[in-house]
Amino acid sequence: MRPFFESIFNFDKDTSNMALIALAGAKELGDKVDYYLVNWYNQEAKAQGKKFHRDTFLIKNVCPRFTTGDGKGLVMETIRGKDLYILCDVGNYSITYNMFGFENNMSPDDHYCDLKRVIAACGGKAKSITVVMPSLYGGRQHRRNARESLDCAQMLQELRDMGVSEIITFDAHDPRVQNAVPLMGFDNFLPTYQILKAMLRSYTDLDMTRERFMIVSPDEGAMSRNIYYASVLGTDLGMFYKRRDYANVVNGRNPIVAHEYIGNDVRNKDIFVADDIIATGDSMLKLCNELKERGCGKIFLSATYALFTEGLKKFDDAYDQGLFTAVVSTNLTYAPKELLERKWFIQADMSKFLAYIISACDQNKSLSELLDPHDKIHELIAKFNANKPEQIALDIEE
């Protein structure tokens, strides 16, 4: 099926200069994005009676390491005159390298350095370079409160100085960080539609009316994304705010003393909670306790990046206790096999959406429909409500 663009490529001649580089941490996502782009390209060529054919848009690359840990970037195909899109997952800790005989897991710093190595290896030959970095490197350190670094802002300026023309990211912790590079392209997309669709496909018995369904923000920082959910779904909105101990710092942050709730009664309502990141998960589980004590029904936890930095056991225990129903996240960053196998975990595949974005950018098409999917969400809910009595699985084109 063709995407919503009238023509996916220009076939007056084979002028598609698009090329993809998927760094080590983003190989799986890169393969999925390439699958869609290749299919669209070849289908469009056939529809227009052209003989052009592509097997892949991916460019072979590698970042080998010396035994001392030093690395270098190698691009093994020509990129001269190409519109280059580089996919980078700085959160993929499963990638390893050897250093002095020890196997080391790559950190966000390592992934970011490999990104710069590959850009440097291109030697200025690409026509344009767009970095697709779903989870922004250093994105959680978005403002200065004391004598401390501003890693994300510094990263953006470094990439700009290396010739990067645009950044594509998803659910930036604070999108105002783009102020560090006001003349460079910066597009911040949200997985709202894909997350809702994944949830509704798995739970076809939900009643999403205002009387039975409610959005709750886990803190004041997540209000904007939860306001969007509440507005587009036409439901009530509640909020927790975190009362912190500002006299102490534990693991780089002020510990939370209590979660205070503001909003309408949640009794007998199913709850949807949206945030950008689940790290340790402590705040989310405390929120679940608070909501259950207030008599709510099902609780759906949503995060663009479900990291579970302290493991899955506490979530397994909480699920067994009935504290939440499901966690819905995306494949925009690495998820270990054991997480994907959890019965309480739902993953929304973002590869087709990302392929749309890259295709639109390559053709200089408007991104408005992709940036704000409220019409598609209304269509999704309408079809869900129509099929609800039969509990038919949703099959709406992304």
Q: Give 10-residue mean pLDDT values along the chain (398 residues).
A: 49 70 97 94 85 91 94 95 96 95 95 97 95 95 84 96 96 93 95 95 90 93 91 93 74 72 92 95 92 95 96 96 97 96 96 93 83 88 74 48
Contact 30, 60 (CB under 8 A): no
pLDDT for res 5? 47
d(CA 184, CA 157): 9
Rg of the chain over Cα atoms, rounded to whole angstroms, equals 22
The pTM assigned to this predicted structure is: 0.90
Strands (DSSP E) found in 147-298: 166-170, 185-189, 213-217, 236-244, 256-262, 270-278
pLDDT for res 11? 53
pLDDT for res 15? 52
Tally of CB atoms within 10 A around 231: 12
